[in-house]
Amino acid sequence: MNNKQLLAALAGGAVIAIAGQTAAERGADGHVNIIYWQAASILNPYLSGGTKDIESSSLVIEPLARYDQDGNMVPWLTTEIPTVANGGVSEDLTSITWNIAPGVLWSDGTPLTAHDVAFTAEYCMHPEGGCQQSTSFSDVASVEAVDDLTVKVTFSKPKPFPYGPFVGGESPIIQKAQFQKCLGARAPECTEQNFGPIGTGPFRVTEFRANDVISMEANPNYRDPSKPSFATLTFKGGGDAAAAARSVLETGEFDYAWNLQIDPAILKQMEGAGKGTVVAAFGTAVERLMVNLTNPSPDLADMRSTVDGGPHPFLTDAAVRRALSLAIDRNLLSEVGYGSAGKATCNVLPAPAVYASTANDECLVQNIAKANQILDDAGWMPGSDGVREKDGVRLSILYQTSTNAVRQDTQALVKQWWSEIGVETELKNIDAAVFFGGDQSSPDTFQKFYADIEMYTNLFNGTDPEAYMNNWTCNEIPGPSSNWLGNNMPRYCNAEYDALAAELGQTADLAERARIAMAMNDMLVQEGAMIPLIHRGRVSAHSNTLGGVILNTWDSELWNVADWHRE
């Protein structure tokens, strides 16, 4: 559709709206305001892995397939999802072939082709580009355009779940014509491209102010001529979650506010103003306690919290770990800190539903008496100060986490419960940028884990848990020899677990994969490498006049913005 036709359509839309019928024309609903309290820095998710950047760019650039609100894959720019059954995935699981839907245009009017898709892979896989989404392209050997609308991804080894590249908000397709001079080391210099990518999505950028605000307008070449309903869009950033919530729920200045992790009581009160609605949805995020199975004693100097430093003096005792878990009232933690955005859980892998195990539900109910009993039976007896000890070892725990009001509340509650079972707890909190930062010289990173227990949330993108569950295999243990890289914070090492991980890597059948993943989850929880606390949801809010919002935690929250409309 060219500009003239668009104008005609807009005028038509206005006439229809005046006539009092439902507006189903592009741009008929005027303007929509979105606020993300973290401002978008760049519109290229390959150069910034921040959620705010991935989600803001999802208004403009799109992947070949997305996840819907239930975690199912839906073809987005393609005709169907390739599977072994429909021949899209090869029998030996080493390649996948996508068929691009014909007629999809970029916002500049040129057609989307397989060459753009192949270029996107080349862009991210360039060794000097510092691509932040290279996990999506792991094990990819080559991506080639078979013809203009067919693209074939070949993997270097069998991939039972070949939907890494080009699926979900993390790996959208960028236009070759626009980005071809921005490969590798030149990627960061392409400011104009990174701030205003040409996309196939419902909107296109008119002005980008880094870390502040983005102005957008409807993409005149969007594939559905009646969408999006909004002619223009403002994506504002900055402030904090409470202010964002207020602007939607109380003042009504904005239509949509993202990720409102604030005191649930305050959110409820704001919702009472009657201008907006709070929505929540659950993905894979779990707030958990990581149990250090190695010795963090400062006396060990360089060997602190490493496998070489030897096992932990008391956390290697299964009875202690079980008692610590039983003493926690997860429902109360969830109510105090998370409200509608939290559910008590005993699993590190709580979703999608097929992967959720029920084998560990004992921990859902707090039982201090039983926890005490377990410790008594294991020979941990209260000393003169009430702290249990055995053979000169006291149950004294250093419990660290990042600085965050909800986490400090949780820490205080857990400390109280643990004191009731004779465990002494010292609390520590560290600025998030330091705690999660990988600074090798800092002793306070979550990888170094110079504490007995640490708490944070982890999750995985998409719906396949394979890469996530691989985090706790023996070779993922961080230590000085691996520059403290690695995700196995508890330093958990079990040959059986590694065998299951290897099996998962070769199994394509979904039911079988679910069985293995559940077994791995149960092993981690029952052996006490982790103490899961809260299954965390995403909370957002939208104005009561904004229709079509379907909160999605498996993909960008703005995944269906083309369907949003004014009610």
Partner 1 sequence: MLNYTIRRLLFTVPVLLFISFIVFLLLDLAPNDPTGNLPLTIPPDVREQIRRSLGLGEPIHVRYFLWCVQFFVNEPLNILEHWTGLQFGDGERLRVQSWATRSPVVDLVVERLPQTLWVVGMSYVVGILIAIPIGVISAYRQYSWFDQAGTFVSMVGFSVPTFFTGVLMIVVFSVHLEWFPSIYDTTHRVTDWESFLFQIRQLVMPVSVLALYNAAQISRFMRASMLDNLGQDYVRTARAKGLKEHIVLLVHVLRNSLIPVVTVIALGIPQIFGGAIITEQVFKVNGLGQLLIIGIQGADIPLVQTLTFIFAVLIVVFNLVADILYGILDPRIRYE
Judged by the rule CB under 8 A, the positions of this chain that interact with partner 1 are 35, 39, 41-42, 44, 47-51, 128-132, 134-135, 185, 187-191, 194-195, 207, 209-213, 215, 234, 236-240, 243, 246-247, 250-251, 253-254, 273, 432-439, 441-442, 444, 447, 456-461, 478, 483, 485-487
Nearer Cβ to partner 1 (131/278): 131
Please say which residue, 147 or 439, places its beta carbon nearer to partner 1.
Answer: 439
Hey, is 454 helix, strand or coil? Answer: strand
State the nearest-atom distance from the C-beta of 427 to partner 1, in Å.
Answer: 20
3-state DSSP of 24-40: CCCCCCCEEEEEECCCC
Q: In this complex, which beta carbon is closest to partner 1, that of residue 238 or of residue 547? A: 238
Minimal distance, residue 449 CB to partner 1, in Å: 14
End-to-end CA distance of the chain: 27
CB 317 within 8 A of CB 303: no
Q: Residue 128 class from Cβ within 10 Å (0-12 exposed, 13-18 middle, 19+ buried)?
A: exposed
Return all residues near 138 (Cβ < 8 A) that are at least 6 apart. Answer: 164, 467
Rg over alpha carbons for the chain, rounded to the nearest Å, is 25
110 vs 458 by CB, closer to partner 1: 458
Smallest distance, Å, CB 93 to partner 1? 22
Query: What are the structure tokens assigned to 169, written together?
Result: 């908000």
What are the b/e assignments for 32-68, b being 16+ CB within 10 Å? bbbbbbbbbbbbbbbbbeebbbbbbbbbbbbbbbbbe
DSSP 125-154: H-TTS--TTGGGGTTEEEEEEEETTEEEEE
Of 51 and 219, which has the nearer Cβ to partner 1?
51
Q: Give the Cβ contact number of residue 140 at 10 Å.
A: 19
| Residues 6 or more apart whose Cβ sits within 8 Å of residue 502 | none
Tell me how far, at minimum, the Cβ of 132 lies from partner 1, in Å: 6
State which residue, 395 or 430, has the beta carbon closest to partner 1.
430
In angstroms, give the least distance from the CB of 243 to partner 1.
Answer: 7
Which residue has 């109380």 as its token pair?
Answer: 250
Beta carbon of residue 358, minimum distance to partner 1 (angstroms, whole number): 26
**Shortest reach from residue 467's CB to partner 1, in Å:** 8
Q: How far is the CB of 188 from partner 1 (least distance, A)?
A: 4
Residue closer to partner 1 by CB (options 152, 304) is 304
Within 10 angstroms of residue 240's Cβ, the number of other Cβ atoms is: 11
CB-nearer residue toward partner 1: 485 or 510: 485
- Residue of 217, 197, 1 lying closest to 105 (CA atoms): 1
Select 144 or 271, whichever has its Cβ closest to partner 1: 271
Q: Least distance in Å: CB of 384 to partner 1? A: 39
